[in-house]
Structure 1
Amino acid sequence: METYSDSDLTLRPLDISDLDDFMQWYSDEKVSNFCSWDAFTTKEAAFEHFEASAINHPWHKAICLSGRPVGSISVTPCHGDDRCRAELGYVIGSNYWGKGIATRAVKRAANEVFVEWGHLERLEAVVDVENPASQRVLEKAGFMREGVLRKYYLLKGRPRDAVMFSLLSSDPQVNYFMDS
């Protein structure tokens, strides 16, 4: 199994020139299984999705290994009275599963967003109950499992149960992340 050091992993703004790399996971049915989108069969469809969901997003970055995108991670802020919280989402190519990359990317993203958004108190992530690998990523990254939300969201037209995770700006591991 190939291993990667922390210095190999970077988060950077998404760029349309990365579309060929993005197609690696956009077209992978294993990856899209728990995503709101179906695996893309054409580059044009992937481009439209990328353009609509990533380009103007307030915090959406490529997860890179040695400069090459292998996934993406986003933090979507809430607005109005809920602006103290935001939702984390991530996707990584199936060739990179089980290598600790997603966990390190989540830690790094949490660190960056708590520093960049001083008003942020809570970072939350919602994971399908049938996606234990993603649940482990969040647990390893220091997020607290809060509970199951029954029929919380629609996934490809079907109501799904989800597990809510959170990381608070006051959690001890956040201060550790900020020092590292």
Structure 2
Amino acid sequence: MAVPFTTIAGERVLLRPFRVEDAVDIAESCQDPEIRRFTMMPEEMTEAQAREWIEQRLARWDQGLFAFAITLPPSDRCIGQMGILLEPQFRRGEAFYWLDRQHRGQGIASEALNLITDWAFSEHGLARVHLVTHVDNPASQRVAERCGYQREGILRAWEPVKDDQPDVVMWSRLPEDLGLYRSGPTS
């Protein structure tokens, strides 16, 4: 059965399924050394490769891989990716994201991560959403922390990423953790 495409709207951010027209923006964003280093995005991605990547993501929607373009309405331009791979048999999902360098540091990734996490809990009845960040990527770790994700520890040589198998930091959020990020930190 085909899973219908959906959008998820926040205060500033709109998450929508990727479109082939996003290939130009994706290829341009993926020239950033940080995206190449810290994500699974292909190195030196061309526009043609980006189109193929988009088609692969859309084809996996029915398999529980929900990859969304991050946009800032009224612009429909893709400025990043926010996604989640659902594992309904375990009632869990793994979130993943990247953001174009010119939009970092503005709370956009945090809003997008909160949107996808809330959507996974409310629409898919998950008990857990987790994500991993490269140990050398403090910006991504701050996003996870701001969104109420709890640091669980270091996973050594977790999974292949291009020509490496780096250590990563595991983060998770449970539905009962929601009050943590909504009310802000208590010091």
Per the shorter chain, which TM-score range?
Answer: 0.7 to 0.9
Contact 2:57–2:67, Cα closer than 8 Å, also in 1 = no
Name the residue aligned to 1:105. Answer: 112
| 1:124–1:143 distance in 2 versus 1, CA, 3 Å | same
Contact 1:14–1:55, Cα closer than 8 Å, also in 2 = no
Q: Distance in 2 between matches of 1:137 and 1:91?
A: 11
Q: Distance in 2 between matches of 1:78 and 1:130?
A: 27
Instruction: Say if 2:152 is the partner of 1:146.
Output: yes
Name the residue aligned to 2:141. Answer: 135
Q: Distance in 1 between matches of 2:175 and 2:14?
A: 22
- Unaligned stretches of 5+ in structure 2? 1-9
Instruction: Say if 2:168 is the partner of 1:162.
Output: yes
Q: Distance in 1 between matches of 2:106 and 2:25?
A: 19
Contact 1:9–1:63, Cα closer than 8 Å, also in 2 = yes
Aligned-residue Cα RMSD (Å) equals: 2.1
Which residue, 63, 78, 100 being the options, matches 2:87? 78
Counterpart of 1:127 in structure 2: which amino acid? T
Identity of aligned residues (%): 31
Aligned length: 169
Q: Distance in 1 between matches of 2:122 and 2:181?
A: 10
Q: Deviations over 1:31-90 (max 9, x none)?
A: 22111233334211221222223443332111111232211111101254x2x1110001
Greater CA deviation, 156-165 or 27-36?
A: 27-36
Counterpart of 2:159 in structure 1: which amino acid? Y
Contact 2:24–2:50, Cα closer than 8 Å, also in 1 = no
TM-score (norm 1): 0.84
Instruction: Say if 2:26 is the partner of 1:22.
Output: yes
Instruction: Say if 2:49 is the partner of 1:36.
Output: no
Structure 1 or 2: more strand by fraction: 1
TM-score (norm 2): 0.81
Greater CA deviation, 84-93 or 57-66?
A: 57-66
Counterpart of 1:14 in structure 2: which amino acid? F
